[in-house]
Structure 1
Amino acid sequence: MDSTSDKRGGSPEKHAWHAVDIKDTLAEFDVRKENGLTGDEAQERLKRYGPNQLREAQSQPWWRILLGQFQSIVIYLLGGAAILAFATGRLPEGFAVLAVLLVNTTIGFVSEWKAVRSMAALRRLGEHMTRVRREGNEREIAASEIVPGDIVMLEAGDLVPADLRLLEAEHLRVNEAPLTGESVAVSKMTDTLAADTDLADRNNMLYKGTSIADGTAVGVAAATGSETELGRVSALAESAEGTVTPLQRRLDQLGRRLAILTIFIAIAVAAVGFLVREQQAALVIETALALGVAAIPEGLPIVATIALARGMYLMAARNALVNQLTAVETLGATRVIFSDKTGTLTENRMRLQKIVTPTGDLAMEEAETGEALADKAGVRRVLEVGLLCNGASLKQQQGEDNPRGDPTEIALLAGGKDLGLERKSLLEERPESRVEKFEPRLKKMATFHQENGRYYVAVKGAPEAVLDVCSDILAAEDSTEPLDDDTRRQWIERANELAGEGLRLLAMAEKKTETEDSDPYEKLCFLGLVGLLDPPREKVKEAIDACQAAGIRVEMVTGDQAETATAIARAVGIVGGKDDPETVCMLGRDIGSPEDIDEDHQEKIYRANIFARVSPEQKLDLVTIYQNRGEIVAMTGDGVNDAPALKKADIGIAMGKRGTEAAKQVADMVLKDDAFETIVAAVRQGRVIFGNIRKSVVFMLTTNVAEVLAVAIATGAGWPLPLLPLQILYLNVLTDVFPALALGVGPASGNEMKEPPRSPRESVLTRAHWTEITGFAALMATCVLAALLLAEHWLGLTELEAVTVSFLTLAFGKLWFTFVLRNPRSPILGNEITRNPWVWGALALCIVLLAAAVYLPLLSGLLQTRILGWQPWLLILTMSVIPLLAGQTVREIQRRRVAE
């Protein structure tokens, strides 16, 4: 058994049980097929290898989420300001800063904790049972108790509990979509395969997480728990490094620049005050503290968090559960969406699409229920064979469809029902007497039916296999003619042509015989072909068109065949028609490792828009290659095979209904309705959020820079401080936050999806934004200082009264400045700012708060403000409106230039 454990614990080549014959496999595990393991052996191996369970990804604990709220340069600066305030005995300022920190962390923590709890609700799994052979007897045990060497028995409908090397396979077909992305059941056998056989082609293996569609199986457990293919994919997902979102990167960048600027200005002004102006240490510390508080946009984390939380709420209303706040914004910056095919772009359910016969064809989308078969006898005969030669059922449980069996056979039954034919009624006319189940080697199956003292034989299978055993072909409703080689070749070519359209083809044939014991596969009459397809999901084409119109590339990444992938890509609009030169399909094995590919090969990858037969590792490599190019990558998927790439992508999007737990656990967002168009809504919302946050940042930085300039200039000139530290904090946390928040939750303009995605290298603020911030801040600071000097020297007010004038001038100047942040294309009155009800509510609230700062004794004493007469108020209103008038003049000039 040492060699066995070495194989399972080593490289992928040592896991190649598909390349080991049955006899050697059983010898390696020291087990006999007839007896299975003994109870003692099973217990010993359970201790050695552990339970047959995957390691479940743990959600972040509450304390880690709480600590994460403090990982911001703005929070660090606020913490430093609080420490400085307490160290110098300025307790009110210190407690005020701590209150700001508490508000920031509480809002962020509550929003993210709710998201984590919602995601946890999706992850509840139940244990299932499975049959094994132990000590010569069959018994049912929990799947978690299976150990390497167990003999496992399965039948249709069972989940595969571990990786099994097949010992017996009776008409066995398996649904491997969760692992490989293949939407059609795969036939299995027991023959030994080559060691380099691809995962999707290892037909003598069953893998944990897949399910039995038809037939029975006996296999030996070759790997359990984390050593299974499912466990290996899970480990890939865990090792895939999550990326920091674009908004996080940009806000952190901005925070670092503000930190450097704050420290530099504080040191410079303190040096001037202490060395040049010979001010007292207490005044220098007060000035430095005022500058530090002024330079920090305390409201930025609050505004960004609430804007993102509102985006999360809006997305939840659209059936998208967001795991992290920044995920919605990330979609707004996305430039490439890698979409899985099965269950994401398609319904993950085969449907009858077309019936092709020598006497006429029928396309299902053109058929009218109950009338389609009235004048198409050839089509009806093909469909009758498909229903009679069928082992599936369309049972209902509790009023809902509960089909059982092979997906292609279920599709035939459903298609027949749509056209007015049901298997039950056909069997009443022709009772079934014998079944030849599907045989992978023969690629066909047959059923015998009693009919007027004779037997009717219905045969279906792969086109080439069925045509090879046909001697006649349907010529008219009730006549046949010999099937010659040329005609047979023409039908094979027709089948290949239809396969190129992505259809799964089955050939139908029939004959009548005198005895039930006759060979079903000789002297058949060929009736025609049926084409089946896993169709595109409803509205997915419109969603992809919207993405492409917004400059977002949508590319298909699937484990399915290239022909099927290309056909679906055409159907949903990822690529153009059949002759579109831009349609490039690349196989997974041709992608290569991100570390090894050269520039020419990178360009080939970038030109491709369909990636087929892709393994989990190759999906991960593909995401890495595009991220190395600087692209913001989103990945959609629902299968276990998608999990590593979902985690590695800038944003992973899992399907909620059909998605596996592995996909949901690592995804940033789960689509509860599995609708691709929900992604488009998220992209739009992400762009709205970024635009709104940008407006909020411009607003806060403009007013904060104005505060810094006013304090710095007044200190250098030897004037009184125009703003005290607590006054600045009051403005930044209250009267700044509400207008900024109103801007941050503003409605969409309707033009978000008409613009290309932002450049991944574009910062929150461009050079043009910084130019505006500097210009308007300088003007605002000038008005504040002018108001201070006029109040003191012209109106003859005391120092604290003059400071109250400068404080209120800046406060109202900030409020009016909100209207300057309209789009240059918008008119002065009817624009997105004036139509935003949140803006008007924020302004009204702030005016009340400013009045309270002057007229409420307790608050007035804390802020050191004074009650003013009508002349100072007139001065305040006059000086505060100057930045608004200047700003609107600039916007009008810009609007006229744009119009020209």
Structure 2
Amino acid sequence: MITEEKNFAAWSKSVDDCVNELETDLQKGLTNSSVERRREIHGWNELEKEDGKPIWKLVLEQFNDTLVRILLLAAVVSFFLTYIDGQKNGDSGFTAYVEPLVILLILILNAVVGVWQENSAEKALEALKEMQSENAKVLRGGEFITDLPARELVPGDIVELRVGDKVPADMRIAYLKTSTLRVEQSSLTGESVAVLKSSHAVLKEDVELQGKECMLFAGTTIVNGCCVSIVISIGMATEIGKIQTQIQAASSEDTDTPLKKKLDEFGERLTTVIGIICLLVWLINYKYFLSWDFVGGWPTNIKFSFEKCTYYFEIAVALAVAAIPEGLPAVITTCLALGTRKMAQKNAIVRKLPSVETLGCTTIICSDKTGTLTTNQMSVTELICNGTSAGKGRNFYVEGTTYNPLDGGILNLPTGEIDENLQTVSKIAALCNDAGIVYKAHRFRATGMPTEAALKVLVEKLGIPDLQAQVKINLEREAMESSTDQKFIRLGCCDWWNDKLTRVASLEFDRNRKSMGVIVQSHEGKNELLVKGAVENVLERCSFLQLKDGSIVEVDNHVREIVIAKHNSMSSKALRCLGLAYKEALGEFSTYDGETHPAHKKLLDPANYASIESNLIFVGMVGLRDPPREEVKGAIDDCREAGIRVMVITGDNKNTAEAICHEIGVFYDGEDISQKSFTGKDFIALPVDERRKVLSGSGGCVFSRAEPRHKQEIVRMLKDADEVVAMTGDGVNDAPALKLADIGIAMGIAGTEVAKEAADMILADDNFSTIVSAVAEGRSIYDNMKAFIRFSLSLSLSKPTTTILVG
């Protein structure tokens, strides 16, 4: 029986149970007739998208304003009275209708500017979209279709996924074709590093997304390994689809912007005042159109002049029209439109005009961490190498926060030839590595594991021992750096190592030993094993240590304690640490040259990898992280000076989030954050009063492991407390909160399409500091509009006052 996912917790079922539930076959896949039948039930594998608003609706929305409606009513009444007066006096020329026509012209121009701005913003948004692959390798009728359009998938389809593939639907992993599988799912969960997946069922049905280790979710990317999976949910039934539903629910809660609320209040008060004044003016002149005689205390012989009554009514209407600042809507729209142009020049693309003013009223910025406050690009920040004797280490700090090999260097790196120990570090980082770096959409990006891509960047910064080759590489870099076309990128140092040594075997990463190894062969036929992995696990299998000059010494417990202490110190700074080691005495693998070698059968069983990776020589370790953007700390300081609180809401783990917040200045050094740092689950578990107390406190806060519903609840509670909330984010999981916030701000480069569509503003450079610049611009526009309203109102009210006095 084909079952919807809401009644089928596939992650808690065995693969056989899933196959039976979905009536599919891992060896043959679905038949064409079964596909057609399922498509009738489930539809196409695509998200529902709202149709764009027609022009006529956009035009009508421009008149959804109290002041504009008052002006429109005044113009209609003025036109009607002018027509009646013209009929009586025989004067129906064009000049008689100048006043109502001018008012109508102003309103029409206001509507045209508003519609033009919304359309141009949508075009700017379209320009940010990138083409993505929409095909999948699917098993149908016993044969694989390599390029089936992803929208044609149905539940029960068998799909093969490899490195670089984008997951086209929610799937249950059937089996791995490699020893490990890693998936980049930060766009959905907010995790900053790729996560390991397996085919083993999760015992609990009620588990968060991060805990569903046997599930692949639509929109995520395979960064390591290969697997065969069963499609469980498609379209709106996927996790992304559920978030889209939350976005639609959040859109129904949209409220007016602070500017619109204030203008509506102003319009209502102005209408009341003007109405009373005009009524008094009309009544004061009653003796001109209404008269009577008194006989016995009662009015008799009452005379009423309809002509004079309408004449003085026209005067009252004219006073009303004169008192209303008819240029106000046009000026406000023009100010906002000019503001959007200035913001676009600063990489902030505004989709809706009122968002410009809302930014100026912002009191709290709720920011995602990964990709907004940080670069969402793993980089090596610290390198620990061995010194001249056992137990003496050398610390090198690495500059740069991106995958650009030319971004920064290594501090206190000795000039000239790099020593033997640093050469080994470079060799392991270059060769025990499956990642690459490409230049795409004006940005350096990783292909494969982000941590491995960061290691390749480290190799480029370390350099190579061949001075002539290094000079040639440097010349190529200078040419690339000065070129306007940086699409050309060559990892010259990594290529040099690949030319010197050939990789003949891989010992893939697994959960038990937590390391990866490769056997490489030199041109002379000498083999060696290069290993990288978790520091504790690698160090446990090391018997020796390589010193600065390349000499080898034994490792004792004292040295191990020193290394572990340094590792703990790096971990406390939220660094992800990798240990590096190698081995030259390979025994039967010393002559290994491929699948025909007698020892090859041992490589087919991952259980043998730990014994092969024994008696290693420890070289050093590296600390990696997703670093904060350099300009963020200054932007946070600017927010504090402007009275804007910053709250970080992320799906990443608590320690990493707290470390980043300390570094960028959300928290002061030594500040007690026990009531300012919570996981999303822990925060929601607090009583409502406690939650309000946390949110109403001073300074910043951080919420980690936050799911979409947690983000929505935080934003909703802040709005209920009369805060003006700006929410930033780039992932699908951020979209509901982006829609609910007073102003949602999405990332233009790394942001998902769902997040962009939910947002009111797009950051073309994915930079938090751009938000601060936009807020400053919004405040300037807001102040200018307030000044104009005061001036316009005083000028407009002076007209009827003068008329009354003269009259």
TM-score by length of 2: 0.82
Equivalent of 1:117, from 120, 123, 139?
123
Say if 1:704 and 1:162 are closer, same or farther in 2 by CA, change over 3 A.
same
How many positions carry a matched residue from both structures?
705
1:514 equivalent in structure 2? 587
Q: Distance in 2 between matches of 1:354 and 1:494?
A: 11
Q: Distance in 1 between matches of 2:206 and 2:513?
A: 25
Deviation at 1:454, TM superposition (A): 5.0
CA contact (8 A) 1:176 1:211 kept: yes
CA contact (8 A) 1:463 1:529 kept: yes
Counterparts of residues 599-748 of structure 1 (less than 5 Å): 599-607=689-697, 609-711=701-803, 713-714=804-805, 720=807
Equivalent of 2:18, from 15, 22, 25?
25
Deviates more, 1:281-290 or 1:154-163: 281-290
Deviates more, 1:85-94 or 1:627-636: 85-94
Counterparts of residues 767-846 of structure 1 (less than 5 Å): none
Deviates more, 1:80-89 or 1:648-657: 80-89
Q: Distance in 2 between matches of 1:687 and 1:612?
A: 31
1:161 equivalent in structure 2? 168
Q: Deviations over 1:281-335 (max 9, x none)?
A: 0232122212221232211101111111111111122222111111111111111
| 1:41 to 2:34 alignment | yes
Give the AA of the match of 1:566. E
SS in 1 for 2:285: helix
2:474 equivalent in structure 1? none
Give the AA of the match of 1:362. F
1:726 equivalent in structure 2? none
Q: Deviations over 1:475-529 (max 9, x none)?
A: 6644445445565455334323212212111111222222214832222233322
Give the AA of the match of 1:667. A
Deviation at 1:438, TM superposition (A): 1.4
Give the AA of the match of 1:706. S
Deviation at 1:15, TM superposition (A): 5.2
Q: Distance in 1 between matches of 2:558 and 2:37?
A: 64
1:101 equivalent in structure 2? 107
Counterparts of residues 416-455 of structure 1 (less than 5 Å): 416-421=459-464, 422-450=493-521, 454-455=526-527
Deviates more, 1:187-196 or 1:224-233: 187-196
Equivalent of 1:364, from 398, 409, 416?
398
Q: Deviations over 1:331-352 (max 9, x none)?
A: 1111111111222122221111
Say if 1:396 and 1:342 are closer, same or farther in 2 by CA, change over 3 A.
closer
CA contact (8 A) 1:371 1:419 kept: no
Q: Distance in 2 between matches of 1:83 and 1:258?
A: 19
2:152 equivalent in structure 1? 145
Q: Deviations over 1:539-583 (max 9, x none)?
A: 222222222221111222111112222222233222233x33358
2:348 equivalent in structure 1? 320
Equivalent of 1:130, from 123, 133, 136?
136
Q: RMSD between aligned alpha carbons?
A: 2.6
Q: Distance in 2 between matches of 1:455 and 1:351?
A: 30
Higher helix share: 1
Q: Deviations over 1:198-218 (max 9, x none)?
A: 212322111100111111011
Q: Deviations over 1:859-893 (max 9, x none)?
A: xxxxxxxxxxxxxxxxxxxxxxxxxxxxxxxxxxx
Give the AA of the match of 1:75. V
Equivalent of 1:581, from 672, 680, 696?
672
Q: Distance in 2 between matches of 1:648 and 1:401?
A: 33
2:631 equivalent in structure 1? 539
Give the AA of the match of 2:672. P
Deviation at 1:40, TM superposition (A): 1.0
2:447 equivalent in structure 1? 404
Q: Distance in 2 between matches of 1:599 and 1:395?
A: 50
CA contact (8 A) 1:309 1:325 kept: yes
1:491 equivalent in structure 2? 563
Q: Deviations over 1:376-397 (max 9, x none)?
A: 5434433322222112234679
SS in 2 for 1:343: helix
| 1:271 to 2:283 alignment | yes
Q: Deviations over 1:251-275 (max 9, x none)?
A: 1111111112222222233233226
Q: Deviations over 1:589-638 (max 9, x none)?
A: 12218xx8422232234455222111111111111111111111111111
Q: Distance in 1 between matches of 2:521 and 2:75?
A: 92
Deviation at 1:437, TM superposition (A): 1.1
Structure 2: gaps of 5 or more residues: 86-95, 291-304, 388-393, 400-408, 465-492, 590-598, 603-610
1:176 equivalent in structure 2? 185
CA contact (8 A) 1:591 1:622 kept: no
Give the AA of the match of 1:152. V
SS in 1 for 2:383: strand
SS in 1 for 2:436: coil
Give the AA of the match of 1:311. G
CA contact (8 A) 1:474 1:526 kept: yes
Q: Distance in 2 between matches of 1:373 and 1:208?
A: 49
Deviation at 1:429, TM superposition (A): 3.6
2:615 equivalent in structure 1? 523
CA contact (8 A) 1:159 1:211 kept: yes
CA contact (8 A) 1:454 1:514 kept: no
Say if 1:664 and 1:372 are closer, same or farther in 2 by CA, change over 3 A.
farther
Equivalent of 1:221, from 227, 231, 243?
231
Q: Deviations over 1:625-656 (max 9, x none)?
A: 11111111111111111111111111111111
SS in 2 for 1:166: strand
Give the AA of the match of 1:624. R
1:212 equivalent in structure 2? 222
Deviation at 1:401, TM superposition (A): 5.5
CA contact (8 A) 2:192 2:652 kept: yes
Deviation at 1:406, TM superposition (A): 0.9
Q: Deviations over 1:174-227 (max 9, x none)?
A: 111211122211111111112233212322111100111111011000110011
Q: Distance in 2 between matches of 1:187 and 1:323?
A: 38
2:424 equivalent in structure 1? 381
CA contact (8 A) 2:744 2:761 kept: yes
| 1:255 to 2:267 alignment | yes
Q: Deviations over 1:154-184 (max 9, x none)?
A: 1001110001100112221111121112221
Structure 1: gaps of 5 or more residues: 721-900
Q: Deviations over 1:673-732 (max 9, x none)?
A: 222222222111111111111111111111222223334x44xxxx63xxxxxxxxxxxx
Deviates more, 1:629-638 or 1:469-478: 469-478
CA contact (8 A) 1:473 1:525 kept: yes
SS in 1 for 2:620: strand
CA contact (8 A) 1:62 1:113 kept: no
| 1:285 to 2:313 alignment | yes
Deviates more, 1:74-83 or 1:498-507: 74-83
Equivalent of 1:188, from 159, 180, 197?
197
Give the AA of the match of 2:40. K
| Percent sequence identity over aligned pairs | 36
Say if 1:476 and 1:110 are closer, same or farther in 2 by CA, change over 3 A.
closer
Equivalent of 1:80, from 62, 73, 76?
73
Q: Distance in 1 between matches of 2:577 and 2:415?
A: 21
Give the AA of the match of 1:53. E
Equivalent of 1:391, from 434, 450, 471?
434
SS in 1 for 2:588: coil
Q: Distance in 2 between matches of 1:683 and 1:641?
A: 24
| 1:349 to 2:380 alignment | no
Q: Distance in 2 between matches of 1:127 and 1:436?
A: 31
Equivalent of 1:60, from 42, 53, 57?
53
CA contact (8 A) 2:78 2:318 kept: no
Q: Which protein has greater RCO, CA pairs closer than 8 Å, 6+ apart?
A: 2
Give the AA of the match of 2:671. D
Say if 1:585 and 1:693 are closer, same or farther in 2 by CA, change over 3 A.
same
